[in-house]
Structure 1
Amino acid sequence: MSSRSYEEELMDDLEASGEVIPQTLKELETINKWLGGNFVTINGLDQLVRSKTKEKMVIADLGCGGGDMLKLVAQWAKQRKLEVELIGFDANPAIVEYAIENCKAYPNIRFEVCDIFSEEFKERQFDVILCTLFTHHFTDEQLINIFNQFKTQAKKGTVINDLHRHGLAEFLIKWLTHFFSKSEMVKNDAPLSVRRAFKKGELEKIMKQAEIPFFKLRWMWAFRWQLIF
């Protein structure tokens, strides 16, 4: 896997709907929980928000899926006695519909169907932007533009949590989903996501071209990159 794959995932179909959506999102929640990948985002938040503030923080989760990460962020904020407004963005209406139901017990979480490339979204301002398993869906050139955009949109910073492209990671997730997944979308997309993911040098090159000189990039379990800027 010397270079990134740009083959589209089934999840990239913004008109995907039906029973496959809740089934897939439930399985992804379980996978991220048991493989420890969610910690990468929460740890990044801890690094960005070191001091207590009495002002309400607005945190955006792009490509929010079923809202699982925002539930964890809500719990994180409650433990630290922080007031937060949490907004999940996804371009698929069926996914947003599921997320609203999935997070109905959290009054400080809301969702919007939105295209992050739209001029309307580019004008939005947040304290923190989160992207968990989202950035690998885009080309390097798109990411350069997106990260440039985030520089002006996120007052405190951005936390990227995405996959490390590695043969062992692809083998393990293919084995895991083959035996335990009932979702054809998960079986197809999980190993493909690894092939679409990043090597360290690729992320560093993207950051350089996005003219972001100061950032933190580190490898974390399980085959994840944590990128903070």
Structure 2
Amino acid sequence: VLDLGCGGGDLARSLVRWARSDGFDLEVVGVDPDPRAIAAAERQTTAGVTFRTQSSGDLVAAGERFDVVVSNHVLHHLDDTERGAFLRDSAELAVGRSVHSDIRRSVSAYRLYAIGASFVSAGTFIREDGLRSIRRSFTVPELAAALPA
């Protein structure tokens, strides 16, 4: 499994853990073009998970292929051109399926996050970054219009 835009590696580690709990061995490669994200991801090691400082374009250029390609909370970080390239790369990298999950924007999500984050991440960048992500995310109709057929 390829985790594109893996950030700190939470999804990659969770996929391996969930698969093991169901009796499956799974190998996950997490990639992110930001070396700071990979450095953070590598602070915690999990058997079956490797991390690389690469982009989806780097992987396509190298001819790599994966059974499944996933991303989580990446699409709202990309402009229209970047998102199109990212999704084309995902389709080319996936032998099977590519699955992308993102944040659904709503007024209630913004308000609840603003209040909740104040309790767990007061004084950090996490609260502001999360609020920015919610503002940049999509509603369901917006995402449907932004995705290729």
TM-score (norm 2): 0.88
> Are 1:86 and 2:28 counterparts?
yes
Match of 1:63 in 2: 5
> CA separation in 2, counterparts of 1:183 and 1:84?
38
Give a deviation string over 1:55-98, Cα, whole Å, max 9, x none. Answer: xxxx0111212211112111222133333221111122222122
Which sections of structure 1, spanning at least 5 residues, go unmatched? 1-58, 213-229
Q: Displacement of 1:179 after TM fit? A: 2.6
> CA separation in 2, counterparts of 1:183 and 1:115?
31
Match of 1:133 in 2: 73
The 8 Å contact of residues 59 and 93 in structure 2, kept in 1 or not, is answered as: no
Q: Which amino acid aligns with 2:39?
A: E
**Residue 192 (structure 1) aligned to one of 127, 132, 136:** 132
Give a deviation string over 1:4-44, Cα, whole Å, max 9, x none. Answer: xxxxxxxxxxxxxxxxxxxxxxxxxxxxxxxxxxxxxxxxx
Q: Displacement of 1:182 after TM fit? A: 3.8
Structure 1 segments of 4+ aligned residues over 3 angstroms from their partners: none
Q: Displacement of 1:183 after TM fit? A: 5.2
Structure number with higher relative contact order (C-alpha < 8 Å, ≥ 6 residues apart)? 1
> CA separation in 2, counterparts of 1:75 and 1:137?
27
> CA separation in 1, counterparts of 2:120 and 2:23?
38
TM-score (norm 1): 0.59
> CA separation in 2, counterparts of 1:181 and 1:172?
14
Give a deviation string over 1:132-159, Cα, whole Å, max 9, x none. Answer: 1111100133222221222221122112
Report the count of equivalent residues. 147
Q: Which amino acid aligns with 1:91?
A: P
> Are 1:100 and 2:42 counterparts?
yes
> CA separation in 2, counterparts of 1:84 and 1:90?
20
> Are 1:121 and 2:79 counterparts?
no
Q: Could you say if the C-alpha distance between residues 155 and 183 of structure 1 is closer, same or farther in structure 2, counting changes exceeding 3 Å?
A: farther
Match of 1:204 in 2: 144
> CA separation in 2, counterparts of 1:169 and 1:88?
28
Q: Which amino acid aligns with 1:81?
A: G
**Residue 89 (structure 2) aligned to one of 122, 145, 149:** 149
> CA separation in 2, counterparts of 1:67 and 1:182?
23
Give a deviation string over 1:97-120, Cα, whole Å, max 9, x none. Answer: 221121x2x22111001123x3x3
> CA separation in 2, counterparts of 1:183 and 1:113?
29
Percent identity of paired positions between Structure 1 and Structure 2: 25
The 8 Å contact of residues 16 and 25 in structure 2, kept in 1 or not, is answered as: no
Answer with 155-164 or 178-187: which moved more: 178-187
